[in-house]
């Protein structure tokens, strides 16, 4: 590497995030920010980091895609037998982070996680491209495999097995919903004096307040 990463920095500029400007419900602001992010970031606008904790208390993080949201929470889909699936079975809490560089914005979400209904998982699975549906059967996610050829052979077998047929959703694949009890909105500002508005769900109601940068 020829660059000194300690010298890499960016001075942010963004619209002010003021307490008096934000709605009472955080998902209203989430919808506004995500709509702008999808325009600004294109197909990466719904990318988010998912952090979970295993039974030993060790954290693990990876990138997943937001595939739905409403007043109940935020939804993503995965293999229930994956590492994250096992971790969520043992410790059903997670943190999410959205980062949109072109907007200089970040959203953090924390909350309890539970599987979505079979009907929701079926509806989303049926909307996926056929190749992605097959992939849900092919990928034994997080399992050690010998080489790339192994997965290609497995793909070929499932293509033959479902040739000319609708592909059903595997029982080990479906959605999770993160029900937030904390959502924080971060807007980058000059001189590292960023705006942070945090919502917390307490006593059956959302409360918001400003945090120091």
Burial 71-98, CB ≥16 within 10 A → b, else e: eebbbbbbbbbbbbbebbeeeebbbbbb
Which residues are part of a known binding site?
62-67, 77-78, 84, 106, 124, 128, 132, 141-142, 186, 192-194, 196
Rg of the chain in Å (alpha carbons): 20
Confidence of residue 15 (pLDDT cuts 50, 70, 90): confident
Question: Which pLDDT score, from 0 to 100, does residue 189 have?
Answer: 92
State mean pLDDT over 156-182.
96
Which residues are catalytic, by number? 192
Fill in the DSSP letter of residue 166.
P
Q: Which residue in 132, 139, 173, 164 sits closest to 154, CA to CA?
A: 139
pLDDT at 14 exceeding the cut of 90: no
Q: What is the pLDDT of residues 123-151, one digit of tens each?
A: 999 999 999 999 999 988 878 889 999 99
pLDDT at 82 exceeding the cut of 90: yes
- Which pTM value belongs to this model? 0.94
User: How many angstroms separate the CA atoms of 213 and 198, rounded?
Assistant: 12
Q: Which residue in 110, 44, 125 sits closest to 77, CA to CA?
A: 125
Question: Which pLDDT score, from 0 to 100, does residue 16 have?
Answer: 85
Tokens describing residue 17: 């995030």
State mean pLDDT over 32-51.
97
State mean pLDDT over 32-42.
97
- Summary count for the chain: helices (H), strands (E): 5, 9
State mean pLDDT over 151-167.
93
Query: H or E segment at 124?
Result: helix 118-127
Question: Which pLDDT score, from 0 to 100, does residue 173 have?
Answer: 97
Question: Which pLDDT score, from 0 to 100, does residue 126 have?
Answer: 97
Output 63-69 pairs: Cβ under 8 A, ≥24 positions apart: 66/34, 66/98, 67/124, 67/175, 68/120, 68/124, 68/175, 69/27, 69/30, 69/31, 69/34
Question: Which pLDDT score, from 0 to 100, does residue 12 have?
Answer: 86
Question: Which pLDDT score, from 0 to 100, does residue 2 have?
Answer: 87
Question: Angle CA(54)–CA(59)–CA(60) in degrees, nearest 5?
Answer: 90
Confidence of residue 159 (pLDDT cuts 50, 70, 90): very high
User: How many angstroms separate the CA atoms of 45 and 42, rounded?
Assistant: 6
Which residues are part of a known binding site for substrate?
67, 124, 128, 132, 192-194
User: How many angstroms separate the CA atoms of 83 and 60, rounded?
Assistant: 9
Task: Find the range with the poorest average confidence among 5-19, 26-40, 74-88, 146-160.
Answer: 5-19
Which residues are part of a known binding site for FMN?
62-67, 77-78, 84, 106, 141-142, 186, 196
Q: Across all residues in the chain, what is the average pLDDT?
A: 95
Q: Three-class SS of residue 198?
A: strand
pLDDT at 112 exceeding the cut of 90: yes
pLDDT at 194 exceeding the cut of 90: yes
**Sign of the dihedral defined by the CA atoms of residues 17, 23, 25, 27, in that order:** negative
């Amino acid at each position: 590497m020829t660059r000194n990463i300690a010298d890499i920095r960016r001075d942010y500029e963004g619209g002010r995030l003021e307490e008096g400007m934000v709605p009472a419900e955080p998902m209203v602001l989430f919808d506004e920010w995500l709509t702008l992010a999808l325009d600004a970031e294109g197909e990466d606008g719904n990318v988010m980091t998912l952090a979970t904790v295993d039974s030993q208390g060790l954290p693990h993080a990876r990138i997943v895609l937001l595939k739905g949201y409403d007043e109940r929470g935020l939804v993503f889909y995965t293999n229930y037998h994956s590492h994250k699936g096992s971790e969520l079975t043992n410790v059903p809490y997670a943190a999410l982070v959205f980062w949109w560089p072109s907007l200089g914005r970040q959203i953090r979400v924390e909350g309890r996680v539970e599987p979505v209904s079979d009907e929701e998982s079926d509806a989303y699975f049926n909307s996926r491209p056929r190749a992605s549906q097959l992939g849900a059967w092919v990928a034994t996610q997080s399992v050690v495999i010998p080489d790339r050829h192994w997965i290609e052979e497995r793909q070929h077998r499932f293509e033959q097995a479902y040739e000319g047929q609708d592909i059903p959703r595997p029982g080990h694949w479906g959605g999770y919903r993160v029900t937030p009890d904390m959502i924080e909105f971060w807007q980058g500002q000059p001189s590292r004096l960023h705006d942070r508005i945090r919502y917390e769900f307490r006593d059956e109601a959302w409360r918001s307040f400003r945090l120091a940068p």
